[in-house]
Amino acid sequence: MVEEHFTEEEKNKLPKHVAIIMDGNGRWAKSRKRPRLFGHRNGVENVRSVVNTAREIGVPYVTLYAFSAENQNRPEEEKSGLMRLLEEFLKRELNAMLRDGIRLRAIGDLDGLPEFANRIVRETIEKTKHNSDWNLTLALNYGSRQEVLDAIHAYSQSDQNIGQKPEWDDFSQHLQTRDLPDPDLIIRTSGEFRLSNFLLLQAAYSEIYVSPLHWPDFDRTAFIGALRDYVSRERRFGKTSEQLFSLQSS
């Protein structure tokens, strides 16, 4: 059993931003001899649990890799089912988002989604834009390489940047995540050790946690276990342990 209570010292070490690659819905369903959409539906149900746990514990930013650009290669029936699940989720959760102060954001090419899915995402973003307590970002039709290419293009179009050496703080303002802190922790479920074109630049200093559980089984206890693992790590950002200890003691 994972201890759910965090000490004050541990709370100070909790990540501000957790990004999750929700993997394994299809394999979870296959292991139960059910269709892939059965796995996706159970995966959607698990989103509420993890987001609520993050809010209860005090993690203000959560980003979910919900639909990658590469997922456009999936069978039409599966893609259509996923988009309907997205629509159902946002309609069902809107009142809770407004009640709990959760702001929805989205990254990715929303115009590449079906019209009904594009519309409900944009409507929910608009209706929650004044919320500021908690932040849920959905990566939809998202690919990090394309995001970087788009950012390079936008950066190069600015007259003030012509002939200037790029600085990260300036360049990062052209990324879709410009209003978000970089993820402190990236969780991937289903035991896969790769980022799959997700937040490649933003993950430069992220801690990575891989769970063997498929996403529908990655419950509250598993999420808290990932957070416990994170707070036990030493994030050095290029410094030595001795330097960090000296800074903490001063």
CATH of the domain at 238: 3.40.1180.10
Catalytic residues: 23, 71
Over residues 29-53, the mean pLDDT reads 96
* Number of domain units in the chain: 1
Over residues 109-116, the mean pLDDT reads 98
Long-range contacts from 239-248, C-beta under 8 angstroms, 24+ separation: none
pLDDT, tens digit (0-9, with 9 covering 90-100), for 55-79: 999 999 999 999 999 999 999 999 9
Domain carrying residue 165: 8-249
**Taking all residues of the chain, what is their mean pLDDT, rounded to a whole number?**
93
**Does 22 map to a domain?**
yes
Q: Which residue in 71, 55, 61 sits closest to 23, CA to CA?
A: 71
pLDDT, tens digit (0-9, with 9 covering 90-100), for 188-226: 999 999 999 999 999 999 999 999 999 999 999 999 999
**pLDDT level of residue 249 (50, 70, 90 thresholds):** low
pLDDT, tens digit (0-9, with 9 covering 90-100), for 82-96: 999 999 999 999 999
**Does 3 map to a domain?**
no
pLDDT above 90 (res 186): yes
**Does 2 map to a domain?**
no
**Does 1 map to a domain?**
no
Give pTM, 2 decimals: 0.92
Backbone φ and ψ for 24, nearest 5 degrees, come out as 105, 5
**Does 17 map to a domain?**
yes
**Does 132 map to a domain?**
yes
**Does 44 map to a domain?**
yes
